[in-house]
Chains A and B, each alone.
Chain A
Amino acid sequence: MKPDLPKQGAPSGLSRRGFLTLCAGAGAGAAMPWRSFRAASRELKVPAHSWSRGEVIPSTCNMCVNRCGIQCHVVDGVLEKIDGDSRNPKTAGGTCAKGQAGIMALYDPDRITHPLIRVGNRGEGKWRRASWEEAFEYTADHIDKIIEKHGPEGLLFSSCTDLTEVFFIKFGKYLGTPNFARHATLCLASRNVGYFATMGGVPDADLVNAKYILMFGANRMESFELPHNRDLITGLQNGARLVVVDPRMTVTASKGEWLPIRPRTDMALTLALMHVLIKEDLYDREFVAGVTTGFEELKAHVKQYTPEWAEKETGIPARTIVRMAREMAAAAPAVVVYPGRRSSWYTNDAQFRRTLPMLMALLGAFDTRGASFFNAGKVKPGSFDWELEPVEVPPRFDGFDEEKFPLAHHEDGGYINLRDSILNGTGKYPVKGWMLYKQNTLASVADSAKTMRMMETMDFICAIDIQPSQTAWMADIILPETLYLERLDPLWTPSGTTQYVGIRQPVVKPQGEARTLLEILQGLGAALDKRREFETPFSEVFNFTMEDYVDAQLKKLPVDRATLAKEGLWIPPGQGLELGAYRSGSKQFKTPSGKIEFVSERFRRNGYDPLPVYEPVIEEPGRQRLVTGRYAWFTHASNQNNIWLNALHPENEVWINPDLAKEKKIEDGEYVKVRSPVGEIRIMAYVTPRIRKDTVFITHGFGTNSTGQTTLYGKGGADQVLMQDRADTISNNQALHETFVEIVML
Chain B
Amino acid sequence: MRSSKLILAGLTLAALLFTVVGDAFAADIKANKKRGQVYFRMVCTACHVDMSGTTIPPAGRTMAEWRTYLDADKHDVSGKSNPSVRYYLSQAYRDSIKDQNKAAKKFLSVPGEQLYADVYQFAVTGAKDSDTPATCN
Contacts and interface: CB of A to CB of B under 8 A. Distances in A.
Contacts of B42: 388
Contacts of A393: 34
A299 interface: no
Given A588-B128, A590-B59, A594-B128, A388 B133 contact: no
Given A387-B102, A388-B102, A590 B128 contact: yes
B109 to A, nearest CB: 13
Nearest to A380: B137
Interface string B51-67: 00000000100100000
Interface string A383-403: 100011101110000000010
B19 interface: no
Contacts of A387: 102
A601 B63 CA distance: 14
A383 B137 contact: yes
A602 interface: yes
A388 B131 contact: no
Contacts of B62: 592
Nearest to A588: B128
A121 interface: no
Contact of B129 (A383, A388, A389, A601): A601
A389 B128 CA distance: 25
Contacts of B102: 387-388
Given A388-B38, A391-B32, A406 B131 contact: yes
Contacts of B75: none
Interface in B50-89: 59, 62
B48 interface: no
A543 to B, nearest CB: 14
B98 interface: no
A535 B38 CA distance: 15
Contact of A602 (B32, B103, B131): B131
- Of the candidates A406, A592, A594, A602, the one having the most CB atoms from chain B within 10 angstroms of its own CB is A592
Contacts of B59: 590
Interface string B24-45: 0000000010110010001000
Interface in A360-398: 383, 387-389, 391-393
A407 interface: yes
A590 B127 CA distance: 9
Contacts of B130: 592
A52 to B, nearest CB: 46
Of listed A402, A590, A591, residue having the most chain B CB within 10 A: A590
Contacts of B133: 200, 590
B34 A391 contact: yes
A6 B129 CA distance: 46
A387 B137 CA distance: 15
Contacts of B129: 591-594, 601
Contacts of B34: 389, 391, 393
A602 B130 CA distance: 8
B40 to A, nearest CB: 12
Of B59, B102, B130, B131, the most chain A CB neighbours within 10 A belong to B131
Interface in B102-116: 102-103, 106
A593 B128 CA distance: 9
Nearest to B102: A388
Nearest to A406: B131
A320 interface: no
B106 A388 contact: yes
A130 B53 CA distance: 52
A584 interface: no
A111 B130 CA distance: 47
A606 B38 contact: no
Contact of B103 (A388, A590, A592, A601): A388
A606 B132 CA distance: 13
Nearest to B62: A592
A149 B42 CA distance: 34
A391 B131 contact: no
Contact of B32 (A383, A392, A594): A392
A65 to B, nearest CB: 22
Given A388-B106, A389-B38, 4 more contacts: A406-B131, A591-B128, A592-B62, A594-B128
27 contacts: A383-B137, A387-B102, A388-B38, A388-B42, A388-B102, A388-B103, A389-B34, A389-B38, A391-B32, A391-B34, A391-B35, A391-B38, A392-B32, A393-B34, A406-B131, A407-B131, A588-B128, A590-B59, A590-B128, A590-B133, A591-B128, A591-B129, A592-B62, A592-B130, A594-B129, A601-B129, A606-B131
Interface of B: 32, 34-35, 38, 42, 59, 62, 102-103, 106, 128-131, 133, 137
| Among all A-B residue pairs, the 10 with the closest Cβ atoms | A592-B129, A391-B35, A391-B34, A590-B133, A388-B106, A388-B102, A590-B128, A602-B131, A406-B131, A407-B131
